[in-house]
Amino acid sequence: MEGRDRNLHEECGVFGIYAPGMDVARVSFFALYALQHRGQESAGIATSDGHLAYLHKGMGLVAQVFNEKNMRPLKGHMAIAHNRYSTTGTTSLRNAQPYLIETLHGPLGVAHNGNLTNASRLRLKLLQRGVGLVSGTDSEVITQMLAFPQNSNSWEERISAFMAEAEGAYSLTILTKDAVFGVRDPWGLRPLVIGNFPSGGWALASESCALSTIGAELVREVEPGEIVRLDANGVTSTQGQPVKEKALCIFEYVYFARPDSILGGQAVHLVRQRLGEELAREAPVDADIVIGVPDSSTPAAIGFANAIGLPFTEGLTKNRYIGRTFIQPDDRLRQMGVALKFNALDANLTGKRVIMVDDSIVRGTTAGPLVRLLRQAGAKEVHVRVSSPPVRYPCFMGVDMATQEELIAHRLDVEGIRKHIGADSLHYLSYEGLIRAVTAGASQPSSYCTACFSGRYPVPLDETWLRQRKSRKESFETVRE
């Protein structure tokens, strides 16, 4: 996706574990490490021993936030954890998760992936009740809503009461005195899976790749509208709210999920290969080699090459650590842009007609420099193929995306984009091709959120919230887009 300044960022990754006898803080650390691609701004772990709760969180990557010293106090046999990329609330420690507060019912910790589309209305209700808020995130709103209904007899009832009022996307892991909960919105917009350990214990994670990393086995997905409880009795399930029309974010398959994850019963890597195969059938071109934009476009490029009968090779190498430093480049280096993140392999490109496969073009700020980089390395022709349809509409369900005016496919047609990026030809995968590729390996019929391509949003959008999003202002602080 346009190199990886990316312009689209999944909001975060969440994790939960109930496993007596395990060092759950250490297990959570490695699970967050596996989910690092879902958020790089902050990380946090909250644990409980059944009496007291403990928390450490900080700004930066997982390996920058945690060390042996600050993990030592994180005691207990259950935990939740979070990686964050902000879509609401600024990049600051007070917006980092998990949130951990004390309630009449004991400690309450919350980790959230998604966006509430009626957050402004819910926030106002809390303020009118006299509840003080210290951040600009909808995740804090969720935490306070769960803490507020004091007359409820159980956490399941409190969670269900929240779900009845909430609109939008949320996959949650929740820590209480006695249990860890997993919650998924009635549309299933953001992923959440359950795993178990051969030696005993249970885990929840945004993606199955985190379960594999910590030695847990994937059991199943948390169903839309479901509340899952992990405690001394194992796993119990409650339907918190009736299932709406299922609408898993289809961009999980295009880009967000790690290729080794299982999503909707399908290996993400294989779905991406099918995206490339569909694209090759729709938009073949005479060329010599096929390359992908590292790393998420590689499976689609392999599928494209196999379908068209051309060799797949590396044309770009990526500096995987350039985005992992707090030291900002000076003006001269900043102007080099893509060259900081990619180098072209001249030996593979000189004199060649190149097909460059990317998974998406958002603002169009990176595709052009990549095309120029390939030409400077000796490519005779550069044909760009995109393994998803044009992104014409912003996302309001937990993805950090440009405003509609900033989306290049909203402003320009395909030919205009081709001229803008300087490619010899440009083709996107059709909407129909996208659906064919994603559904071809599904074990049962399903539906997806395709709003960024189609403009059809599965959940109602609150007008006040939309105005605040457009102006990029919250009542507490500026929204980080």
Peptide bond into 98 cis (omega under 30): yes
| Residue 179: CA count within 13 A, CB half-sphere | 18
In this structure, are strands 202-205 and 12-18 parallel, antiparallel, or unpaired? antiparallel
* Nearest one of 447, 399, 440, 390 to 420, comparing CA atoms: 390
CA distance 305 to 89: 42
CA distance 186 to 84: 22
Rg (CA), the chain: 22
Residue 12 a catalytic site member: yes
- Active-site choice (12, 209, 249, 395): 12
Is 257 within 8 Å of 207 (Cβ atoms)?
A: yes
Is 43 within 8 Å of 58 (Cβ atoms)?
A: yes
Catalytic positions: 12
